[in-house]
A = this chain, B = another copy of it.
Amino acid sequence: MNRPLHVAIAGATGAVGVEMLKTLERRNFPVASLKLLASARSARYKMKFRGEKLVTEEMTEASFKGVDVALFSAGAGVSKQFRQAVVDAGAVMVDNSSAFRLEDDVPLVVPEVNPEDVKWHKGVIANPNCTTIIMLVAVAPLHRAFGLRRLVASTYQSASGAGAKGMLELLAQTKALLAEAKDMDELAERYRDVLARIDPPKAFGDPIAFNVFPHIDVFQPNGYTKEEMKMVNESRKMLHDPSLRISCTSVRVPSLRAHSESLNLEFSRKVTPEMVREVLATAPGVIVVDDPANNRYPLPIDASGHGEVLAGRIRQDVSNPDGTGIDMFVAGDQLLKGAAYNAVQIAELL
């Protein structure tokens, strides 16, 4: 690590912004100065950094003067609005939104996967989609070792994927249902009635309490959601293979934080679970949690609060009798490795 940097966090009061602040602190990032930027509505909000009280400021084009790195997590619209101001100020934008991820002159980077891509940035580096990051931290080392031929993913994404308001919505709906329905039969019968009487949902288009729904982000003409196609397109970009065969079904589940993924992998050669465990044991950012006999496998409640991706349930796929298939289950903290932690890691590469 070289000289301390002047850092700004744009969207400091959001779920990811708060984690960015904590991550800078925890990883002892060399901060020369720290600016907390927010919308007018969230300005003048007090936050703590290394024991010091900082106050959020309203973000303007002038905010980036003297800033070296601006960590953005305030939505795609805000990122687009301030991109030029950040670049003009000579700062590097590390952007957590989907605004620039697929642009040809914007590197999309997971430090464990493609750190080399940081070098060719032109002022903006994009932080990938959270579910894609969590998947690739575990899959990229296997792709390098064995050659990935095809990947089918089904996700179990927490309420935190919609930020603080997603978690609040899960809690509010759950509370209302438990308060108004005495037992599970009543709860099932009165489900929609009870939810119709509380505040209308803001984070999700479907009820989240005690439910799951296969809809994250908007639907595309091909029937996939934007979230599902991020898994396809961002993986292709980061693994530098534009024809990589990936399919994904993204599903929201009523867990609080950390996303899980069921992965079915096909390789271009025979691969055993032992070979997979051996590669993952030394892969950066991965912890193998794979001892079924003792009930040890990745759980979102265990991944919460950690920067590493947990990988387990590693087994030979019985549907590929030629021995080229592997099934695996991974879990990672969507707010940390899926967002804030990865963004800070990118800043560390600079």
Query: Chain A residues in contact with chain B, CB under 8 A?
Result: 150-152, 154, 156, 164, 167-168, 170-171, 174-175, 178, 183-184, 187-189, 191-192, 205-207, 210-215, 219, 222-224, 229, 232, 245-247, 249, 251, 253-257, 260, 262, 264, 273, 292-293, 295, 297-301, 304-305, 312-321, 325, 327, 329
The 9 residue pairs across chains A and B that have the minimum distance between CB atoms: A223-B315, A154-B154, A154-B262, A247-B319, A245-B319, A249-B262, A219-B292, A167-B184, A210-B256
Residues of B within 8 A of A164 (CB): 184
Would you call A318 and B232 a contact (CB within 8 A)?
A: yes
Which chain B residue has the least Cβ–Cβ distance from A195?
B301
Q: Known contacts being A207-B301, A264-B247, A329-B214, is A316 close to B156, with CB within 8 Å?
A: no
- Distance in angstroms from A196 CB to nearest chain B CB is 13
Q: Which of B170, B246, B314 is close to A319, meaning CB atoms less than 8 Å apart?
A: B246
A254 surroundings in chain B (CB, below 8 A): 210, 253-255
Bound Cα distance from A318 to B295, whole angstroms: 35
Q: What B residues does A214 contact at CB under 8 A?
A: 260, 262, 297-298, 312-313, 329
Query: Given that A219-B293, A224-B315, A256-B187 are known contacts, is A301 also in contact with B210, CB under 8 Å in the complex?
Result: yes
CB distance from A25 to the nearest CB of B (A): 16
Contact A211 B249 (CB under 8 A): no
Of all chain B residues, the one with the shortest Cβ separation from A225 is B292
CA distance A320 to B313 in the complex (A): 25
| Contact flag A212-B253 (CB < 8 Å), given A247-B264, A301-B207 | yes
| Assembly CA distance A174 to B187 (angstroms) | 13
- What distance in Å separates the Cβ of A157 from its nearest Cβ neighbour in chain B? 10
Complex Cα distance, B211 from A304, in Å, reads 11
On chain B, the residues within 8 Å of A207 by CB distance are 301
Which residues of B lie under 8 Å from residue A260 when comparing CB positions? 212, 214, 251
In the complex where A178-B175, A255-B254 touch, is A297 in contact with B188 (Cβ < 8 A)? no
11 sampled A-B residue pairs with Cβ under 8 A: A154-B249, A156-B156, A171-B178, A171-B187, A210-B255, A211-B255, A212-B253, A214-B329, A245-B319, A246-B318, A253-B255
